Amino acid sequence: MAEKPFATEQIRNVAVVGHSSTGKTSLVSAMLFCAKETPKLGKVDKGTAVTDFDDEAIERKITIAAAAAFARYKGHKLNLVDTPGYGIFLPEALQGIAVCEAALVTVSAVAGVEVQTEKMWKVCAEAGKPVLFVVNLMDRERASAERTVSQLQKRFGREVLPLQVPLGEEASFAGVVDLLAMKAITSPADESGTVAISEIPQEAKDAAETARAQLIEMVAEQDEALLERFFAEGTLTSDELTAGLRKAFHQRKIFPVLFTSALRNQGVTALMDTLITLVPSPLEAPVLLVRDDGQEVMRSVSPDEPGLGYVFKTISDPYAGRISLIRAYMGAFSPDATYQNKSRDLAERFGAVNWIQGKELVTVERLVAGDIGAVAKLKETKTGDTLAAKESQFRVPPVRIPEPTIAFAITPKSKGDEDKIASALAKIQDEDPSLHVSRDAQTKELLLSGSAQLHVEIAVARLSKRYKVEVTLQPPKVPYRETITKVAEVTTRHKKQTGGHGQFAEAKIRMEPLPRGTGYEFVDKIFGGAISQNFRPSVDKGIQYAAQTGPLAGYPVVDFRVVLLDGKEHPVDSSDMAFQICGRKAFREAVKLAAPTLLEPVMQVEITTPDEFLGDVMGDLNSRRGRVQGMEPSDGQTVVKAQVPLAEMLTYSQTLRSITGGRGDFHMEFSHYDEVPKQLQEKIIAAAGAVAAEEEEEE
């Protein structure tokens, strides 16, 4: 029997984000357990966590993809989007934040503020999302609430403010004091989830009263009416405090801090109560939409308008097939109905409409505005697409996915897998749009690009386990090119006698260098009939064919002009093929006389680095033959713009991560081709010669 939907105002959508190993998945598991959605606490390392169901995640003991789950708690539906903590899986976190009204940022009580804490803070700030911090792992050795809160305030401002005072730390952590209710909420360290609410212990009273006074003062500062009330009365009532805090949280003026031990299930119900109280319902958070005419508008979520939803995640399930995770923004989605994919201009027929609990589907009567759910077996819909009722005039702008930073050439180990590999890669891309698959037109290599080597390796592991396709990974070849630097003029004759008709053609050409990026140009300057009009294009064809293989290292020759000056033909032995062969010979003779040189692709690179690593980043760029074009400092970080040869960027992703401790980012795009320094040309030519010799031996 299908579940009945919750009203939109009873829904809370929260993205759980933060650095790796801060307990995000364990915290989600604990909330599901406390809401009685699961019979026991899930363990990441044992593969029993609801939101870590991927084989690779279980094997590597890390979250590698966003997953959704829900907790029915105190008359509300709490949708939780669990996201990876590794920076290389950032796109998964971006999608999760985009479809939620608030972010729950987990911080380790031992390690404090880390790289991904800062990145998630920045992403939430850019998206205008309220942030609530939860200091987890309070039961661990060397855990410190005071040190962690101090770090948070130093990095993100005095508006980061505790809503609780922890009762004990490390092994003695027993619960928290709720500063709104001024009650102690304790749980035994036995994972049972049993909660006791009592008066504040004597030893914690002074700390709790001081912290509550600071909270009241900070809330009052954010609202003129409350500030006047505070000055008049010296305090705020509990209702005023809660309402003021909620408003300030929605406006990103206060960022509450709570304390938990997810693995011991302590502080979890208090956290859930806070999420229900503070996080805005979908009705309270306007969303950016795009009209059919291209105009961007801010609209309030409405259950009464035509259905409108955004696909933020795709799961390829071996049994259920493709599962599309949808955040509904307007109206409702009903089962067995047809909706328009506005991103691809096609219709999709829905089957059952579901809530999603990790990988399990729970059938629901309809998916209402503000809710998160899933539909299976949509044929063409992919991550980032908008699904809507036919009469809807809006679409949801897709989340911008960062460009890949590293590429590998992949080849199937078995020739029989060549056809299977394309289909398998397409399915993997459906799940992870941040992976790119392409074929280099020059090198003919199939390239798999991702945000890091681990990202690509996980994709390859999926190819093997799910689709039984084994591949090898290699660094991609750099698509070098060759060109000329001088003018050369040659006269070439092709003559061959055989029984019957022979072959004869003669052509005089001049080869001239052209500006970089111009390509190839053929100019016919023959006056009269030295070569018949119908044979002149044959010379051009022969030259273009020969230019595919340069004289230095076999790379294509570019940026040159050939002028056809003169020639001869034979009334019987001349032919299209004879003049093509003549054109090839003429090119090969002329290019050797025209001082050929090697060209390499140069990339336009933008690197974002914290200021303390700027010197090391600049030094590394210089060692990579980079030419810095400018720097833009901003808020403790600097964006460095530079042009760097592609050959020097193949391993840059790992190096930048090492230099900056994972806090640096970069993206690059092709800029132009430039001449390779002479001392490097010799090595490239020698390497190309060795490869050619190996290939000849194999043949």
Q: Which amino acid is at 631?
A: M
Nearest CA to 604 out of 692, 516, 673 is that of 673
- Mean pLDDT (whole number) for 72-89: 92
- Mean pLDDT (whole number) for 469-495: 92
Percent of the chain with pLDDT over 90: 69
For residue 420, pLDDT beyond 90:
no
- Mean pLDDT (whole number) for 182-188: 94
The domain of 514 spans: 482-594
Half-sphere exposure of 607 (CA within 13 A, CB side): 34
In sequence order, which ranges of 594-651 are alpha helices (DSSP H)? 614-623
Percent of the chain with pLDDT over 70: 97
Longest dimension (CA), the chain: 116
Spatial neighbors of 483 by CB under 8 A, at least 6 apart, are 513, 516, 557, 558, 559, 560, 596, 597, 599
Does the residue 624 lie in any domain?
yes
What is the model's pLDDT at position 41?
A: 84
Structural domains counted in the chain: 5
What is the model's pLDDT at position 651?
A: 82
For residue 527, pLDDT beyond 60:
yes
Nearest CA to 275 out of 510, 84, 28, 96 is that of 28
What is the model's pLDDT at position 369?
A: 97
Does the residue 693 lie in any domain?
no
Angle, helices 652-660 vs 614-623, to 10°: value is: 150
Answer yes or no: do 326 and 432 share one domain.
no
For residue 57, pLDDT beyond 70:
no
For residue 624, pLDDT beyond 80:
yes
- Mean pLDDT (whole number) for 135-158: 96
- Mean pLDDT (whole number) for 546-564: 95
- Mean pLDDT (whole number) for 376-388: 95
Q: How far is the C-alpha of 205 from the C-alpha of 211, rounded, in Å?
A: 10
What is the model's pLDDT at position 499?
A: 64
DSSP 171: G
Answer yes or no: do 94 and 212 share one domain.
yes
Q: Model confidence at 669, in pLDDT bands (50, 70, 90)?
A: confident
Nearest CA to 607 out of 650, 555, 519, 668 is that of 668
Choosing from 427, 453, 474, the residue where a domain stops is 474
Angle at 108 between CA 192 and CA 191, to 5 degrees: 5
- Mean pLDDT (whole number) for 561-565: 96
What is the model's pLDDT at position 456?
A: 87
CATH number of the domain enclosing 648: 3.30.70.240
Distance of CA 14 to the CA centre of its chain: 20
pLDDT in tens, 221-236: 999 999 999 899 888 9
pLDDT in tens, 301-337: 999 999 999 999 999 876 778 899 999 999 999 999 9
Element of type H or E holding 597 = strand 596-610
Q: Model confidence at 642, in pLDDT bands (50, 70, 90)?
A: very high
Distance of CA 157 to the CA centre of its chain: 28
Using alpha carbons, list the distances in angstroms from residue 630 to 554, 605, 614, 626, 638. 36, 11, 13, 12, 10
Q: How far is the C-alpha of 534 from the C-alpha of 39, rounded, in Å?
A: 83
Answer yes or no: do 202 and 230 share one domain.
yes
Choosing from 450, 474, 498, the residue where a domain stops is 474
Bridge partners (DSSP) listed for residue 367: 333
Q: Say if CB 458 and CB 64 are below 8 A apart.
A: yes
What is the model's pLDDT at position 697?
A: 63
Which of the two residues, 421 and 210, has the higher pLDDT score?
210
For residue 61, pLDDT beyond 90:
no
Among left, alpha and beta (phi > 0; psi -120 to 50; other), residue 41 is: beta
Query: Which tokens in the block code for residue 245?
Result: 């805090």
Using alpha carbons, list the distances in angstroms from residue 307 to 298, 301, 389, 488. 17, 11, 5, 68
What is the model's pLDDT at position 441?
A: 79
- Mean pLDDT (whole number) for 421-435: 86
Q: Which amino acid is at 347?
A: A
Element of type H or E holding 599 = strand 596-610
pLDDT in tens, 19-33: 988 999 999 999 999
Q: Model confidence at 56, in pLDDT bands (50, 70, 90)?
A: low
Spatial neighbors of 480 by CB under 8 A, at least 6 apart, are 553, 555, 598, 599, 600, 601, 676, 684
CATH number of the domain enclosing 271: 3.40.50.300
Q: How far is the C-alpha of 239 from the C-alpha of 668, rounded, in Å?
A: 52
Query: Which tokens in the block code for residue 557?
Result: 């020759």
Answer yes or no: do 151 and 15 share one domain.
yes
For the chain, the average pLDDT equals 91
Answer yes or no: do 377 and 301 share one domain.
yes
Query: Which tokens in the block code for residue 645?
Result: 């040869």
Q: Say if CB 111 and CB 135 are below 8 A apart.
A: no
Answer yes or no: do 71 and 191 share one domain.
yes
pLDDT in tens, 150-184: 999 999 999 999 999 999 999 999 999 999 999 99
For residue 59, pLDDT beyond 80:
no
For residue 263, pLDDT beyond 80:
yes
Query: Which tokens in the block code for residue 524?
Result: 């016919």
Answer yes or no: do 51 and 109 share one domain.
yes
For residue 475, pLDDT beyond 70:
yes
Does the residue 2 lie in any domain?
no
Q: Lowest-pLDDT range, 210-214, 374-378, 452-456? A: 452-456
CATH number of the domain enclosing 415: 3.30.70.870
Neighbours of 529 (CB within 10 A): 8
Answer yes or no: do 534 and 670 share one domain.
no
Bridge partners (DSSP) listed for residue 196: 186
What is the model's pLDDT at position 42?
A: 73
Answer yes or no: do 645 and 500 share one domain.
no
Angle, helices 90-98 vs 115-127, to 10°: value is: 40
Does the residue 371 lie in any domain?
yes
What is the model's pLDDT at position 486?
A: 96
Does the residue 401 lie in any domain?
no
CATH number of the domain enclosing 386: 2.40.30.10
What is the model's pLDDT at position 431?
A: 85
CATH number of the domain enclosing 508: 3.30.230.10
Spatial neighbors of 429 by CB under 8 A, at least 6 apart, are 435, 436, 437
Q: Model confidence at 296, in pLDDT bands (50, 70, 90)?
A: very high
Does the residue 698 lie in any domain?
no
Q: Model confidence at 464, in pLDDT bands (50, 70, 90)?
A: confident
Does the residue 467 lie in any domain?
yes
Q: Lowest-pLDDT range, 169-173, 199-203, 234-238, 594-598? A: 234-238
Neighbours of 347 (CB within 10 A): 12
State the burial class of residue 524 (Cβ atoms within 10 Å of its Cβ: 0-12, 13-18, 19+).
Answer: middle
Choosing from 594, 627, 646, the residue where a domain stops is 594
Q: Model confidence at 500, in pLDDT bands (50, 70, 90)?
A: low
Q: Say if CB 175 and CB 193 are below 8 A apart.
A: no
Q: Model confidence at 192, in pLDDT bands (50, 70, 90)?
A: confident
Phi, psi of 657 (to 5 degrees): -65, -40
What is the model's pLDDT at position 97?
A: 96
Answer yes or no: do 442 and 589 share one domain.
no
Does the residue 4 lie in any domain?
no
What is the model's pLDDT at position 342?
A: 96
Q: Model confidence at 696, in pLDDT bands (50, 70, 90)?
A: low
Spatial neighbors of 543 by CB under 8 A, at least 6 apart, are 509, 522, 562, 583, 584, 586, 587
Q: What is the pTM of this model?
A: 0.80
Query: Which tokens in the block code for residue 323?
Result: 């599962």
Answer yes or no: do 589 and 605 share one domain.
no
What is the model's pLDDT at position 695?
A: 65
For residue 85, pLDDT beyond 90:
no
Nearest CA to 574 out of 541, 623, 538 is that of 538
Answer yes or no: do 493 and 413 share one domain.
no
